[in-house]
Structure 1
Amino acid sequence: MTQVKRAVRIANCSGAACDPGLHMYNQAKYGPVDVITGDYLAEINLASNAEEMAKGTHPGWVPTALDGLQQTLEIANEKRIKIVINGGGLNPKGLAEKTLEMAKEKNLNLKIAYVDGDNLLPRVGSILDKIKTGEYGHLDTANSDVTLAENSDTFMDDPEGMPIICANAYLGYRAIKKGLDEGADIIICGRVADASPVIGAAAWWHGWNETDYDALAGSLIAGHLIECSTYVTGANFAGAYKYPVQDLLNLGLPIVEIASSGECVVTKHEDLNGIVTADTVKCQLLYELQGNIYLNSDVKADIKNIKVEDESKNRVHVSGVRGFPPPATTKLAVFYRAGYQSEFLLNATGYATDHKWDYQEAQVRSKLEEWGVKLDVLDFQRVGVPKENPDSQLSSTTYMRIFAQAKEAAALGKVMAAWMWNGMAHFAGMHSSLDMRTVIPKPFLGFYPATIPQSELDEAVNILGESPRRIAVSPPQKTESLQPRENYNPTNPVPLESFGATTLRPLGDIALARSGDKGGNVNFGVYVQTAEQWDWLRSFMTRDQMRKLMGKDWKDWYFIERVEMPNIYAVHFVIYGPLGRGVSSSKLLDSLGKGFGEFIRAVHVPIPTKFLPNKARI
């Protein structure tokens, strides 16, 4: 009889390139862990680093990943902790060789490896040809109800004017597991999917094969829960206002304990600050989802019936995830030079602010029209509302963000010229910071998320040392075609009047939420605490209600998908379109969609009075 291995303790050390190397060291120092994983790669930092790397001013890897390794190698060697990170960025081989050099200098017994195969820039031309013919496609085009943002694919017809900077496929766990099976202690990856290091570590520890779908899916969700640094230990948390500020300083990063079944417990080191509760876990679970099917190149995770339950202080048990064969495709992130953009801010104070902004916008637009200036984007964004009966000038001040994009930099110079033409004909009290550096046109990158067959990949783990080896891994042997995403309004809704009297209050008085970006789209998950509140929430939060809550931000070409997760009392939406071509080229101030959830929570809705805290019932 095979003995079931104990749960593997996997500690996250990074969710973005800004996370300091000290996090990796702390995860190794402050308690027992088996593996440390780190996700350093936002889509945009690969692209920006590619430009710098081409100039010879960037090593291609993430500097904070190197810093973490420099601090942690000795303690990892002493405690025999494995390290798997995607901080290799565009140059995983370079960071792996640097790590091997440091290990030799310290006379450490560490086997170093790196994963390659994600960089498809040398073959991107032939891939785009297949996208043009419809053989491959955009991530969202499978849904005929979705309209892509204007100019989403124009770069394909202008390879010289809009050259591609990088094209990286999202790799899975297979090369990582193979490296660990071969005895690697440290594996440096480039663009693997955010949760792939966690899946690979868990699959290696428990000896899973690629058809152990429920276990793999559970580890995929475990990886999703800890991949974003402190987002599950108190950061970016809608309920943080309930905790003293001191409890939220110097947050420690999370740990996940993954059992052989794939179920997990989310926790943290006792000696590090932070909070891990069912609420922090639910908020992170709802972040950057596609719906109730979470896709990865290794497995599809069905989270419709997921359960998230407090086990004890700072320990949350997660179960109910089902796994299915992965799609035959994976995501390919293509970045290209899309043109130039500029922006500047103007302030208005006090009385009749709306008229002041109407006047300012009309001045600039009319002059540009008179001059015949053509721009791809020209947006006048009014930020904030002046306080009624203000007690200081700042409380009475709002600003306008004038944002523009064009293929040629010269056209953008006309925006400032149009403003200066009317510079002394300004509205009453106009002022600004006098810092106009943002007016100078700067190049920006466009983003195109494609899907390609996994058979296109040449994925491998490379073991460094005196006899280096490259061990290729094959695509998944069994795949399933992607089905249309579920999208439905409430089934058997409860009549809203049955909940009794209502009070017009912010939705956030009874609901927590999380939002984020998925390419050009915004995802939004919202949940409540009790079964009766859930009956109200699922009945109230229809697709039409979501449109109403967005107010003036809703555009008729957007599209909404809606699903429910009954065991955690959550409704989840994907709103297609608000971020345009994606974060690197979005005109929105909130280009990552992170503030969307807090905006919706602040909108007043008729909440059943019996659900409200006493202080909110007035």
Structure 2
Amino acid sequence: MSEQGQRPIRIGNCSGATSDPGYQMFRQATLGPIDVITGDYLAELNLALNARSYAAGTHPGYEPTARDGLLETLPILNEKGIKVILNGGALNPRGLAEEIHQAIQSGGYNLTVAWVDGDNVLALLPELIKTGLQHLDPFSVPENAKTFLADPEQKPVVTAHAYLGARGIRKALDAGADIVVCGRVADASPVIAAAGWWFSWLDTEFEKLAHALVAGHLIECSAYATGANFSGFEAYPLETFVDVGFPIVEIEENGVHTVTKHEGTNGLVNRDIIRCQLLYELQGNIYLNSDVKADLSTIEVEDVGKDRVRVSGIRGFPPPPTTKLAIFFADGYQCEFLLNATGTNAATNHKFTLFETQLKSQLSFQQALNDFDVLEFQRIGLPELNPTSQLRNTTYLRCFAQASTAQKAAQLAKAFTAIFMQHFSGLHCSMDLRTIAPKPFLTYFPAVMEQSLLREQAHILGELGASIDAGHPPVTEALLPRENYDPPIEQQDLEVFGPTELRPLGDIALARSGDKGANVNIGLFIPSTANNKKRAWEWLRRFLTRGRIQQLMGTDWKEGYVIERVEFPKIQAVHFVIYGALGRGVSSSSSVDGLGKGFADFIRARWISVPMQFLEKARL
């Protein structure tokens, strides 16, 4: 008798980015029991980066690591009956599916391959723009994105992909597919589809779907759920985080799930790590997919054993009538270079000020200063006092520029060369200055489009060959304005918590941050090791207001930024989105932290008045 639907489904993730090597799929298939393997190979960047070379015939369009994993793991998939769902098809899911189908035939395996399309909506874009294309975050639209809307012909679109849900994948699985290759499906869609297929869920069972959405979110970034990118890692032996096992989620029939990993692998799965990943790249307390809306306001995350964390308490609602649309357009050329300076802080600042003045003067002489859309001089780090080595007394100046043409951008290198021998004392830099050469860049425009316009299909290869329409959600529900609130004024008194000590915020709170286009999000929470956790949570939620986050950002805060704030009381977390903090966003951001991953550690490094009653067990 088949076990399908009779027990929890075990879904293992093998990739969180195209960089995860193919052998991670083989490991998930061989290190223990698994029913389905999912892989997330796409970011909002690599689709765009490969679009031009794919069109020119110099790139296969799909992610090579996804192909490597499938080719290496085919014998095990055939032997154990493990199904695989990947978005590694990227720009060319059909091409990858057909290549794997040929390998199956050559190897004599009894496996059926399918591919899902409908995400590439480039052909629809002119009409979408004509009828009024809406930016995903209308109050934080970068200026270059506004230029694109005003004159799209001057900013040619390279690629445009809608975020698909689980429907096409589910159709393929129901039709007998063992391997499903997708393009741009939402990161959690493969997990939703796998659970829905396993338990024969209806697409209106929103509570179950919402739990599966969160399960997919938790494991989509591979090692992030097993110890990577964990702000509390210093409390554990470093070898814990070397070659960590990738995550597995066990989903029950009601959608409640447990995150774990294969026994005997490195890494950790505990409540703090899973809370970190849960808070990663959220946009408030409502998590969206084109199949379901998940309300995380009452979510619960609990340790239930060694490397086992149970997640429950999620409410589900019908999806919105729209889905996210990622558009990338050619926006000009950019270049950058780094200079080093050694010396005291005052002297270094003076040196960098001299260089900036010299370079701008030379650009003015070349009548090129106003040709740049972006010209930034970023001072990175501070020299150590009484240094023990030259390296510890050296800091960087990063010069970053963007212009509409390669010729305009090339003026930066010309100016730098002209003033090079007029440099400040002790200037030094890498002998490799290739980054100063102009290179084209793409701008990311996140938009929304109606799901009813999608033409999603699942295509089955081989003897079962068929093309199946995925259809559309049977019911949708309009989005309400996002929640955004501070604690009531009467609850913002901090003196009731007693004497304080100036300490880094990180001594009392863990955090995770990430990017949402041009925006950065951050979630902060009380660690499991905290002394008097309930009382510490009450202090944290009072302390972390929108005004406080603005204050903690220091000189990074700029006029025009907008902050949204919500609370997750059952996991003792406060979450913020800071709109506009990543500038132009993703591939066109001038920030050295364009994906926002360092923002949480910066905020945790800020010194604040921490109540002493919480410090004894909270120091991390």
Q: Same fold (TM over 0.5)?
A: yes
Q: What displacement does 1:365 show?
A: 1.9
**Residue aligned with 1:183, SS:** coil
Equivalent residue for 2:49? 48
Equivalent residue for 2:486? 489
Q: What displacement does 1:613 show?
A: 3.0
Distance 2:431 2:107 in 1: 52
CA contact (8 A) 1:344 1:402 kept: yes
Mark the CA change 1:342 to 1:432 in structure 2 (over 3 Å): closer, same or farther.
same
Distance 2:500 2:362 in 1: 50
Which amino acid in structure 1 is aligned with residue 247 of structure 2?
P
Equivalent residue for 2:92? 91
Distance 1:369 1:298 in 2: 54
Distance 1:147 1:308 in 2: 32
CA contact (8 A) 1:363 1:419 kept: no
Equivalent residue for 2:28? 27
Equivalent residue for 2:595? 592
List 4+ stretches of structure 1 deviating above 6 A: 614-617
Distance 2:448 2:187 in 1: 17
**Residue aligned with 1:167, SS:** strand
Mark the CA change 1:387 to 1:197 in structure 2 (over 3 Å): closer, same or farther.
same
Aligned counterpart in structure 2 of residue 580 of structure 1, from 572, 578, 583: 583
Q: What displacement does 1:246 show?
A: 1.0
Residue 112 (str. 1) matches residue 113 (str. 2) = yes
**Residue aligned with 1:462, SS:** strand
Aligned counterpart in structure 1 of residue 573 of structure 2, from 563, 567, 570: 570
Equivalent residue for 2:391? 394
Q: What displacement does 1:580 show?
A: 2.1
Distance 1:341 1:583 in 2: 14
Distance 2:472 2:555 in 1: 45
Distance 2:176 2:617 in 1: 59
Equivalent residue for 1:552? 555
Distance 1:525 1:606 in 2: 20
CA contact (8 A) 1:83 1:187 kept: yes
**Residue aligned with 1:424, SS:** helix
Which amino acid in structure 2 is aligned with residue 539 of structure 1?
R
Residue 356 (str. 1) matches residue 357 (str. 2) = no
Equivalent residue for 1:610? 613
Aligned counterpart in structure 2 of residue 520 of structure 1, from 514, 518, 524: 518
Distance 1:516 1:119 in 2: 25
Distance 2:619 2:231 in 1: 18
Q: What displacement does 1:420 show?
A: 2.7
Q: What displacement does 1:162 show?
A: 2.1
**Residue aligned with 1:222, SS:** helix
Equivalent residue for 1:339? 332
Distance 2:618 2:451 in 1: 55
CA contact (8 A) 1:251 1:272 kept: yes
1:232-243 maps to which residues of 2 (within 5 A)? 232-243=225-236
Which amino acid in structure 1 is aligned with residue 486 of structure 2?
N
For residues 276-331 of structure 1, give each alpha carbon's deviation from its aligned partner in whole angstroms, at most 9, with x where no partner exists: 00011000000000010001111000001111100000000001110000000001
**Residue aligned with 2:335, SS:** strand
**Residue aligned with 1:561, SS:** strand
**Residue aligned with 1:365, SS:** helix
Which amino acid in structure 1 is aligned with residue 614 of structure 2?
F
Distance 1:396 1:37 in 2: 46
Equivalent residue for 1:479? 476
Mark the CA change 1:51 to 1:302 in structure 2 (over 3 Å): closer, same or farther.
same
Q: What displacement does 1:616 show?
A: 6.5
**Residue aligned with 1:153, SS:** helix
**Residue aligned with 2:377, SS:** strand
Q: What displacement does 1:157 show?
A: 4.3
Which amino acid in structure 2 is aligned with residue 362 of structure 1?
T
Equivalent residue for 1:504? 502
**Residue aligned with 1:333, SS:** strand
Q: What displacement does 1:392 show?
A: 0.4
CA contact (8 A) 2:507 2:618 kept: no
Which amino acid in structure 2 is aligned with residue 502 of structure 1?
T
**Residue aligned with 1:266, SS:** strand
Equivalent residue for 2:131? 130
1:142-541 maps to which residues of 2 (within 5 A)? 146-351=139-344, 352-373=347-368, 374-466=371-463, 468-491=465-488, 493-529=491-527, 530-541=533-544
Q: What displacement does 1:355 show?
A: 1.3
For residues 109-164 of structure 1, give each alpha carbon's deviation from its aligned partner in whole angstroms, at most 9, with x where no partner exists: 11111101001112211112122xxxx401012xxxx2322111322444454211
**Residue aligned with 2:597, SS:** coil
TM-score, structure 1 length as denominator?
0.96
Mark the CA change 1:52 to 1:357 in structure 2 (over 3 Å): closer, same or farther.
same
Which amino acid in structure 1 is aligned with residue 458 of structure 2?
V
Q: What displacement does 1:421 show?
A: 2.7
For residues 422-467 of structure 1, give each alpha carbon's deviation from its aligned partner in whole angstroms, at most 9, with x where no partner exists: 2222222111112110000000011101100001100111111145
Q: What displacement does 1:20 show?
A: 0.5
Mark the CA change 1:4 to 1:119 in structure 2 (over 3 Å): closer, same or farther.
closer
After TM superposition, the structure 1 stretch with the greater mean CA deviation from structure 2, 61-70 or 354-363, is 354-363
Which amino acid in structure 2 is aligned with residue 452 of structure 1?
M
Distance 1:409 1:116 in 2: 35
Distance 1:499 1:361 in 2: 47
Which amino acid in structure 2 is aligned with residue 371 of structure 1?
Q
Report how many residues are paired.
607
CA contact (8 A) 2:319 2:477 kept: yes
**Residue aligned with 1:422, SS:** helix
CA contact (8 A) 1:505 1:616 kept: no
Distance 2:53 2:102 in 1: 24
Equivalent residue for 1:7? 8
Q: What displacement does 1:494 show?
A: 4.9
**Residue aligned with 1:584, SS:** helix
Distance 1:327 1:65 in 2: 31
For residues 162-197 of structure 1, give each alpha carbon's deviation from its aligned partner in whole angstroms, at most 9, with x where no partner exists: 211100100000111111111111100000000000
For residues 540-562 of structure 1, give each alpha carbon's deviation from its aligned partner in whole angstroms, at most 9, with x where no partner exists: 00000000100010001100000
Distance 2:424 2:617 in 1: 45
Which amino acid in structure 2 is aligned with residue 227 of structure 1?
E
Equivalent residue for 2:83? 82
CA contact (8 A) 2:508 2:618 kept: no
Aligned-pair identity (%): 57
TM-score, structure 2 length as denominator?
0.96
**Residue aligned with 1:483, SS:** coil
Distance 2:7 2:492 in 1: 44
Which amino acid in structure 2 is aligned with residue 384 of structure 1?
G
Equivalent residue for 2:530? none
Residue 70 (str. 1) matches residue 68 (str. 2) = no
Distance 2:468 2:106 in 1: 27
Which amino acid in structure 1 is aligned with residue 484 of structure 2?
N
CA contact (8 A) 1:336 1:447 kept: yes
